[in-house]
Amino acid sequence: MTMIDWQALLAPPGMAPAAPAGDAADDVADDDAMDAGGGGAGEGAGTGAATRAAPPDDALRMVMREYAGGDRGDDRNVCVLIGTVRRERYGPNGKARPASATPLGMRYAPYRIEIEEPGGLAFSMPLSVSARLMETGLFTDGARVQISGSVRLEQTYDRAFAVHPDDAGLPTWETRLDVIAVARAPETAPDGSWVKLVGAVDGGPAIRDDVIGPGVRCPIATVRIRCRSALRSIVSGARAMHALTTLTPADVALDGSVADAAALLKHGNQVIVEGRLLPRVYQRRRGDPRIQAALAATEEAIRAKGGAPDEVARRIAAARRRMLTGVRMTVGVGYVELVKGRALTDEEVARLIAAGGGPRRKAAPPAPPPPPPRADIDAALDAALLALPSVPDAVVPMNGGAPWMG
Amino acid sequence: MDGVMELIGRTSQWRRRMRRDGTGVVIAAWLRPAAGAGVGVVGVYLPEERVPDPTGLPARTQALIRAVLRPLHVHALDGDHRLPHAPDATLLLLEALEALAWDRVTPPLPWPGMPVALAAPPRAIGGGGLAHLADLPDVCGWSPDGAALAVGTLAVGRAVGGVTAEVGGRSWLRPLLWLAPAADAAGRA
């Protein structure tokens, strides 16, 4: 679906072809149209200034030019990533995993991209690479590439929790990078990522404490940013616009290091967020029956293999720890701009941190109220009884007539 | 208890409910009779094995229910009317033999009624009397004028039904059997 100019992409970033004459003016016009037609509920209004802002670098300009739709897109959900590509392998022989086919008939090769940032952060994340992108020849083991695309949450199934061959596994949400364009990374550019999201805060924050040292904690808020983009038709001049809504998790520190972080803590606020991709480790809920079933099956399999009791116990504990620990990519927020809405006050933020989160945190269902006194119920039923017709139609002797017909 | 009665009224949604004795599942609905031998609110059920397709039952519409009086205790769901002495349960009075969408023409057949015996002396409410029945636990006999509840007289159940009241955020049910003196019943027959 994506029309990509490979010659342009394969050129060094500084040598990108010049935009056609009138491109800047067209961009402005397109953004205005997008605000009017594709913004939708609460997102289109007020973001025009943001979308009209000049792209920060060549990579973003490349994404905007090559975005799905062929001619132009918008920059409401943009991710630029520089790292090393690795083909996913499995098994003791390191055999490459085969490509997976989507229900729509497309085949995607499983790759990961490894990122080692200068600050010491190192991680890898999955990529779904379509056959068309594979044709570029850039996706080879160890190749260093610059990838541009958009991030979104996608539901997948964790096969580690499958308890029988036909079981798809545990449904889980994973942050995916939809690769739109790829190019060789410049030699001098360090590994890293840059994400820009323009959208609305979806729901309240979940607050947690990030332990950064012995007894030292930093409050972190996890929010979701809903970005709505408008895809234009592949035919120039067509009037149809197609909305594309994505949801992306974002973490923001509440220790004062990010200015205007309070703007992300209120549902419905329209914001511009810039940050980088970060892996977030979380603990799965061990009370989930599917997780319990998978843990029990794993434990049974380990016991079936046999071994010394201490060794078996260690292996079981390690397997439990591994299965209960999950990693999800999120956007580590480094810049927030409030476009529309209201930021929480310092007092409200302090109260939110003390309460441990907003409405997204699910409380235990309330216990059923105790039944009222029996005398109250009987009195109410007596009153209802007296309110009924003293002699119901059905009890009146029917002398040839049908009471319900008057 | 074997006499077949016909009621016409508006049904609620039909939902599965577990029998309290653990012997299976029934498909049940609440009926608000507009005609026939019924008043107020009546619980109606069908054994699940007799309902291959519950979606075919007339729900939220005027229905003609052909049923027998066969009270059944089931576990209550949210939205059910509950028994005051067993808040987790409710009582469905009628086992339906047939549940059809009413054609708005067919009248309900009269119910011959059933003889009942009181389990305890009646309690006066307004001008009438309320008494527990010997053969129908959790069902109260109600005589609006109290005439049917005189000690030593034979009473006949002439209509089924129930009253409900909202107390403490829940709806409570009192299943009823309208009673008439046996003489009335004989004259009616």
Query: With 90 as the cut, is the pLDDT of residue B90 above it?
Result: yes
Partner A, chain B 75-114, Cβ-Cβ below 8 Å? 84-85, 87, 107-108, 110-111
Cα separation of A106 and B88, whole Å?
A: 53
A309-324 and A289-305 helices cross at what angle (nearest 10)? Answer: 150
Confirm or reject contact between B139 and chain A (CB < 8 A). Answer: no
| The two structure tokens encoding residue A236 | 């120039």
**Is there a contact between B187 and A388 if contact means CB atoms under 8 Å apart?**
no
pTM value is 0.49
Q: What is the pLDDT of residue B2?
A: 59
Residue B129 and residue B143 in contact, taking contact as beta carbons nearer than 8 Å: yes
How sure is the predictor about B173, in pLDDT bands with cuts at 50, 70 and 90? very high
Higher pLDDT: B21 or A44? It is B21
Chain A residues with CB under 8 Å of B128 CB are: 385, 390
Burial of B20 (0-12, 13-18, 19+ CB in 10 A): middle
Q: What is the pLDDT of residue A10?
A: 35
**Is there a contact between B159 and A395 if contact means CB atoms under 8 Å apart?**
yes
Q: What is the pLDDT of residue A3?
A: 35
Beta bridge partners of B90: B74
Residue with tokens 């918008």: A74
B81-82 and B170-181: which strand pairing? parallel
Of chain A, the end-to-end C-alpha distance in Å amounts to 69
Q: What is the pLDDT of residue A55?
A: 37
**Is there a contact between A385 and B34 if contact means CB atoms under 8 Å apart?**
no
Nearest alpha-carbon partner for B31 in B162, B183, B141, B186: B162
- The architecture of the domain spanning B4-101 is Beta Barrel (2.40)
Task: Fill in the DSSP letter of residue B147.
Answer: G
Nearest-CA distance A170 → chain B (Å): 29
Chain B residues with CB under 8 Å of A395 CB are: 158-159, 178, 180
Query: With 60 as the cut, is the pLDDT of residue B92 above it?
Result: yes
User: What residues contact B137, with CB distance under 8 A and at least 6 apart?
Assistant: B71
| The two structure tokens encoding residue B130 | 């309320």
B155-167 and B38-40: which strand pairing? parallel
Nearest alpha-carbon partner for B117 in B157, B58, B77, B87: B157
Cα separation of B44 and A231, whole Å?
A: 54
Cα separation of A298 and A320, whole Å?
A: 8
pLDDT tens digit at each of 406 positions of chain A? 333 333 343 344 344 333 333 333 333 333 333 333 333 333 333 333 333 333 344 544 444 444 443 344 467 888 888 999 888 777 567 677 777 776 777 777 778 889 998 888 888 887 767 777 777 777 888 889 888 888 888 887 887 787 777 777 788 888 878 777 788 888 888 899 999 999 999 988 888 888 778 878 888 999 999 998 887 788 888 888 888 888 999 999 988 888 889 999 999 999 999 999 988 888 888 778 888 888 888 888 888 888 898 999 999 999 999 889 888 889 999 999 999 999 988 888 888 887 775 555 455 566 777 888 999 999 999 999 888 865 555 544 444 444 443 3
Of the candidates A382, A384, A405, which has its C-beta nearest B164's C-beta? A384
A89-90 and A95-96: which strand pairing? antiparallel
Beta bridge partners of B91: B73
User: What residues contact A363, with CB distance under 8 A and at least 6 apart?
Assistant: none
Cα separation of A189 and A179, whole Å?
A: 19
Give me the mean pLDDT over the B112-126 stretch. Answer: 87
Q: What is the pLDDT of residue B47?
A: 92
Residue A70 and residue A234 in contact, taking contact as beta carbons nearer than 8 Å: yes
Cα separation of A391 and B145, whole Å?
A: 9
Q: pLDDT by residue (tens digit) across B33-68? A: 988 888 899 999 999 888 888 888 999 999 999 999
Of the candidates B8, B84, B187, which has its C-beta nearest A378's C-beta? B84
Q: What is the pLDDT of residue A362?
A: 54
Residue with tokens 């942050």: A175
Nearest alpha-carbon partner for A218 in A203, A208, A231: A208
Cα separation of A72 and A28, whole Å?
A: 11
Q: Percentage of chain B surpassing pLDDT 90?
A: 44
How sure is the predictor about B152, in pLDDT bands with cuts at 50, 70 and 90? low
Of the candidates A386, A391, A404, which has its C-beta nearest B34's C-beta? A404
Q: What is the pLDDT of residue B10?
A: 94
Q: Which residue of B has its CA nearest to A403?
A: B35
Burial of A145 (0-12, 13-18, 19+ CB in 10 A): buried
How sure is the predictor about B164, in pLDDT bands with cuts at 50, 70 and 90? very high
Higher pLDDT: B82 or B147? It is B82
Q: What is the pLDDT of residue B106?
A: 87
Q: What is the pLDDT of residue A35?
A: 34
Nearest-CA distance B164 → chain A (Å): 6
Q: Which residue of B has its CA nearest to A393?
A: B35
Query: With 80 as the cut, is the pLDDT of residue B147 above it?
Result: no
Q: What is the pLDDT of residue A398?
A: 41
**Is there a contact between A377 and B84 if contact means CB atoms under 8 Å apart?**
yes
